[in-house]
A and B are shown apart, each in its own frame.
Chain A
Amino acid sequence: MALTFAVPRSSAAVKKPRGRAVRRNLTGWAFAGPATLIVIGLSIFPAVWAFFISRAKWNGIAPATEVGWRNYRLLLQDPDMIAATKHTLLLTALFVPGSIGLGMVIAIALNQKIRLIGFYRTCIFVPYVASAAATGILAGFVFNPQFGVANDLLRNLGLPQQQFLENPHQAIYIICLIALWGEVGFTTVIYLAALQDIPRDLIEAARMDGASKWRVFRHVTLPELRPVTVFAAIWQTITAMQLFDLIYTTTRGGPLNSTQTIVYYIYELAFQTQRLGYGAAAAYLLFLVTLLLSLLVIWYSRRRGSEVF
């Protein structure tokens, strides 16, 4: 083995024939090259290009004109962009804690040794494999104001009928609910794995010392779950910030733009109104906001004494 591969660099004094180094590099790149080329070619290169596009006024056909930071300046005052940012942040602020809280509670419930647990687990995870597009179309049916099940349920409970996705004051909350339905399986699964990793004797020892169930949860279980929570917070923040499929198949940003998110706005700018430069600048702002939010989560968790990153 040492002959071909792990020759330490310090032994360079022992002259190696040059052909062997060339062959070693060729072999390495033959293995790693194709995937590396695809990944870097389809991300680093376009990301750099997107930056140049974002500093231009361009409809994709006529020659682009370089406008410096003008697109970014305009975006910061663009009422549509400001509204889209508000909607995105509202969605994130509801979705992230919601999916973490629900995921944790469901995982704790699914970790009990009771009958039917396999059935419950299957039911709760199934929506996660259904596409967001199909979920959106299905939600349009369930929340249909005229003959949907949701209004029928309200009627049976004696509650007033609602417009749901057609009401600009409700639509975004309904979308958040649908997103939770589709994504909570993911946080549940990772919490369940984390719960099963907690050593049993840790919990039993605490119970022996006379701690109540709640205190065991608060002081033993919860700290053990913290790394997963930090990860879930970041992952779900990215998910919420990039929510598109559900909006496209339910409200398309409406009613009255009330569900227009940053991602949806970027899609409209670039591919409906052909404002490529402006759209690219909005995409860069989205990237920055996502990055900042992720760093914020990491900073907050560090301060709380968690050493995951």
Chain B
Amino acid sequence: MRWKLPFSPWHLLLMPLALIFVLPLVQMLLTSFMSSAEINQFPPKLIPTSLHLEGYRHLFAETPALRWFANTVLVSGIAVISHLALCSMAGYGFARLKFAGRGLAFVLILATVMIPIQLLMIPTYLMFARIGIVDTLAAAYVPWLASAFGIFLMRQFFLGLPAELEEAALIDGAGPWRTFRSIVLPLAKPALTTLAIITLLWSWNDLLWPLVAISDDHTFTLQVGLANFQGMRRTEWSQLMAGNVLATMPLILAFLFAQRKFIATMTFTGIKG
């Protein structure tokens, strides 16, 4: 007779995997509440003896981390709002309106998807230097005002909507703006949610571009601030982990609360992206 596990064998694969994926983040959170003495021990301790706040205190005392946090919130906020407004308008334009140059403009937009950021960063930096926005927050958010991906996502969504509702509105005498605002946009909520989540994820986590465009440490975003802070001085792990908590927890909490929407967004990126 075959010996049988009292539970599905899949647990033997999933349980260790789940721990590998989540434990480092748990350790990050716990370490941010440890004292330096506790951290610099071998074998490492996983649970702090009591809630030490020195990591956070030192972080806020020695770096403008709160400022970085506010900068990140501002850049991501502008990125999301602008994406929602401009990409939904453009998506609607390309899906439903007829105008001279529409085909060419859309092909050009699609072609830009292949161009890597590394190719663009040198001329974009020079361009921003010339108009005088290097080292300001504008340099960080201007490239995030709209994206080819966002336009494409919204256009695909609008193409899939039945046109009858809009036609009825137009026959009733509503102009294209009113039709868009009061008929089309309310129907586009799922696509707008996807767009908002993906823009938030990408803009919040961006490192390379703000690193290039900003060198004044009061204008850093969190990712840039932490990455540079880590390289600058002897590493105090409790401070770094406190900074990491600040940089990751907002998105992790958002993910935990809206897991379904996040997963739908990731799936969408995979299928339509």
Partner of B262, one of A129, A134, A238: A129
What are 24 A-B pairs at a CB distance below 8 A? Answer: A1-B163, A6-B98, A25-B100, A31-B180, A32-B105, A34-B89, A40-B109, A40-B112, A44-B112, A49-B126, A50-B119, A50-B123, A110-B14, A114-B11, A124-B17, A127-B22, A131-B248, A131-B251, A133-B247, A134-B223, A147-B40, A151-B42, A181-B24, A267-B212
B270 touches A186 (CB 8 A): yes
B10 touches A114 (CB 8 A): yes
Which residue on chain B has the smallest CB distance to residue A37?
B146
Dominant SS among interface residues on chain B: helix
Partner of A129, one of B7, B101, B223, B251: B251
- Name the A residues within 8 Å of B90 (CB-CB): 31-36
A133 touches B167 (CB 8 A): no
- List the 7 closest A-B pairs by CB distance, nearest first: A28-B99, A190-B270, A31-B93, A32-B93, A131-B205, A35-B90, A46-B123
Q: Which of A115, A124, A134, A142 lies at the interface centre, i.e. has the most chain B CB atoms within 10 A of its CB?
A: A134
Chain B interface residue count, CB cutoff 8 Å, equals 107
- Name the A residues within 8 Å of B40 (CB-CB): 146-147
B248 touches A109 (CB 8 A): no
Our count of residue pairs bridging A and B at CB distance below 8 angstroms stands at 311
Q: How many whole Å from B261's CB to the nearest CB in chain A? A: 12
A105 to B17 Cα, complex, angstroms: 11
Q: How many whole Å from B104's CB to the nearest CB in chain A? A: 10
Residues of B with Cβ closer than 8 Å to A?
7-8, 10-11, 13-15, 17-22, 24-25, 27-28, 31, 39-44, 46, 86-87, 89-90, 92-94, 96-102, 105, 108-109, 111-112, 114-127, 142-143, 145-148, 150-151, 163, 166-167, 170-171, 176, 180, 201, 204-205, 207-208, 211-212, 223, 226-227, 230-231, 235, 237, 240-241, 243-244, 247-248, 251-252, 254-256, 259, 262-263, 266-267, 269-271, 273
- Name the B residues within 8 Å of A60 (CB-CB): 126
Q: How many whole Å from B74's CB to the nearest CB in chain A? A: 17
Interface residues as binary, A141-181 with B (CB distance below 8 Å gives 1, 0 otherwise): 11000111101100100000000000000000000000001
A4 to B98 Cα, complex, angstroms: 10
A132 to B147 Cα, complex, angstroms: 21
A36 to B105 Cα, complex, angstroms: 7
Q: How many whole Å from B151's CB to the nearest CB in chain A? A: 6
A34 to B240 Cα, complex, angstroms: 40
A126-B22 contact given A39-B147, A114-B8, CB 8 Å threshold: yes
B230 touches A39 (CB 8 A): no
A106 to B18 Cα, complex, angstroms: 10
Residues of A with Cβ closer than 8 Å to B?
1, 4-6, 24-25, 27-29, 31-36, 38-40, 42-47, 49-50, 53, 60, 105-106, 109-110, 112, 114-117, 119-120, 122-134, 136-142, 146-149, 151-152, 155, 181, 185-186, 189-190, 192-193, 228, 231-232, 235, 238, 241-242, 244-245, 248-249, 252, 263, 266-267, 270-271, 276, 279-280, 283-284, 286-287, 290-291
A120 to B21 Cα, complex, angstroms: 10
- Name the B residues within 8 Å of A283 (CB-CB): 116, 118-119, 121-122
A31 touches B89 (CB 8 A): yes
Partner of B18, one of A28, A43, A124, A228: A124
A152 to B111 Cα, complex, angstroms: 49
A34 to B91 Cα, complex, angstroms: 11
B248 touches A134 (CB 8 A): yes
B99 touches A106 (CB 8 A): no
Which residue on chain A has the smallest CB distance to residue B256?
A122
- Name the A residues within 8 Å of B167 (CB-CB): 1
Which residue on chain A has the smallest CB distance to residue B253?
A129
Inter-chain pairs besides A1-B170, A27-B99, A32-B99, 11 sampled, C-beta below 8 Å:
A44-B108, A53-B123, A120-B15, A126-B255, A131-B205, A142-B24, A147-B40, A155-B43, A270-B121, A283-B118, A283-B122
- Name the B residues within 8 Å of A110 (CB-CB): 14
- Name the A residues within 8 Å of B7 (CB-CB): 114-115
A186 touches B44 (CB 8 A): no
B207 touches A131 (CB 8 A): yes
Q: How many whole Å from A46's CB to the nearest CB in chain B? A: 4
A5-B96 contact given A46-B123, A155-B43, A290-B116, CB 8 Å threshold: yes
A34 to B112 Cα, complex, angstroms: 16
